[in-house]
Structures are given as C-alpha cells and as structure tokens.
Amino acid sequence: MKVKRALLLLSVFTLSFLISLYLTFPFERVAERVLIEKGFYPQKVSFHHFPPRLTIGELPFGGVTLKSVSIEPKGLKRFLVKAELCGGNLEVKTDTSLERVEFTVHGIELSRCPLKSDFKLSGKLDGKGYLVFRKRQITDGKGEFTLSGVSLKNVSFGIFSFKELDLGEGRINYTVIGKNYLKVSGELNGKDARVEIKGNVSYNPKNYMNSYVNLSVSVSMKTGKLKGQKFRFTVRGSFNSLRFY
C-alpha cells in the first residue's frame, strides 16, 4: 500500500509539474525568436494553451501585412496557419522546415492588394496550390486560381481609353518549371472583353514584391466601337511597378 501511495503521489507531482511547466513556459518569446530566424518579424504575439494556438496581431511579409494570424500545431512537426489577407482569408499547411507550403485563399479582394500599376484592378480571387522551397528558393509547385467580378479601370489601347472594362470571371494557373521561375497561363471572359494570358514570373526570394512579371495578353473586344477588334500587349515589371507595353 505504501508503494502504491508513493507511486500515486509521484504521478500526481509529475503531472502537476508538467502542467505548471506548460502553463509558465515562455512560448511567445520562443515563437518570436523562431519566426525572426525564418525572416518574419511579428507583432503582438500571444499563446493560447488549451487548445494550443499561437496568435499574432500583425505579421509583415514582403510588401503585405497578414492580420489576425493564428498558428496551430497539427502533430509534432506539421502546423496550420490562418490569416486575413487583402480582405480575404489565407490558410497555409506546412512543417517546421517550411520546405513544402500548401495554401488555400478565399475572397481575396484584388483592389486591396498592394499592386502598383498603370491601371486599377478589382475583383475577387480564390484558389489553392503548393510551393516547394530549398534554401528559400522555389524548386517545385503548381496551383490554380479562379477570379470573379474582374474589371479594369483607366485602361487604354493606343488612342482609345476606357473608364472601366468588365472582364467577368476566369482562371489563372501556375507551374514551377525552374528555380524561382513560374509559368503562368489563364483566361477571363466578361461582358466587355475576353482575355487570354500567357507568360512567366521570376520570383525574388529576398522580397517577393520585387518579383519580375512578364505576361503576354490578348484582348478581344465584345462591345463599343472596338467590337470585334483584337489587341495584343505585354505586362512587365515587378509587383511594385507593373506597366503596359
């Protein structure tokens, strides 16, 4: 009986000690240090113990800021990240190495994303895909996005200019075909025009907003004086400075 009582007391003490350690362990500081080592600089870090969840008020990433970020463990090495981005939702599944990143986006408002260009783009974007990183370099990946309610404002073709073009809905696909090199294709079909897109994106691992875009665009007009006309041009530049050519 004395042995059983001693084992019971030892078990209770051990469990109490582990719970106390879990409740008092500085997860916030450890998590902040790990994120900084990975190149992220979080703000307002807090930890929820039951169920375990790390919450970050704002997390700057490249040229955008993720809001209401939550990180939940899914096993010993996997974790799930949820955040608000450009008025929509982002969900990322990855592991501690951050080598393979699987993502889903829903309700992204293009007008709220930090794209600087000659034109104003609006509409919503949904999609999913994955990217594989080796030493912060993209080496593999594939994904598809769907767009709805897309319109271009303040766009011109030569001497013709439009306050707004309804491009409707469509899709855009990407495939990684080389290190930091993505092949892009897609199409949109709206009330005013049908658009076909082909080209590539050269990813900048230091700042993705400086990634270089080179897209060939074909526009077939459906309405107005240019009905039946077809225009071809390119869109080039970084996400910080897109231009028509």
Residues 129 and 78 in one domain: no
Range of the domain at 147: 108-245
Report pLDDT digits (tens) over 1-56.
555 554 454 444 344 333 333 334 444 565 566 665 666 666 677 666 566 767 77
Say if 67 falls within a structural domain: yes
Residues 227 and 121 in one domain: yes
Say if 1 falls within a structural domain: no
Mean pLDDT of the chain: 79
Say if 244 falls within a structural domain: yes
Q: Which tops the pLDDT comparison, 34 or 236?
A: 236
Residues 55 and 116 in one domain: no
Residues 72 and 113 in one domain: no
Report pLDDT digits (tens) over 130-182.
999 988 899 999 999 999 999 988 776 666 677 888 999 999 999 999 999 99
Total domains in the chain come to 2
Residues 70 and 126 in one domain: no
Predicted pLDDT at 37 = 67
Residues 223 and 136 in one domain: yes
Predicted pLDDT at 52 = 72
Residues 115 and 59 in one domain: no
Residues 133 and 62 in one domain: no
Q: Is 147 exposed, middle or buried (0-12, 13-18, 19+ CB in 10 A)?
A: buried
Say if 91 falls within a structural domain: no
Nearest to 40 by CA among 73, 72, 65, 15: 65
Residues 144 and 27 in one domain: no
Say if 5 falls within a structural domain: no
Residues 47 and 130 in one domain: no
Phi, psi of 227 (to 5 degrees): -55, 130
Residues 51 and 143 in one domain: no
Say if 16 falls within a structural domain: no
Distance CA 153, CA 126 (A): 21
Say if 143 falls within a structural domain: yes
Residues 241 and 168 in one domain: yes
| 55-69, 208-222, 231-245: least confident range | 55-69
- Tokens 């049908």 belong to 194
Predicted pLDDT at 5 = 53
| 32-36, 99-103, 164-168, 236-240: least confident range | 32-36
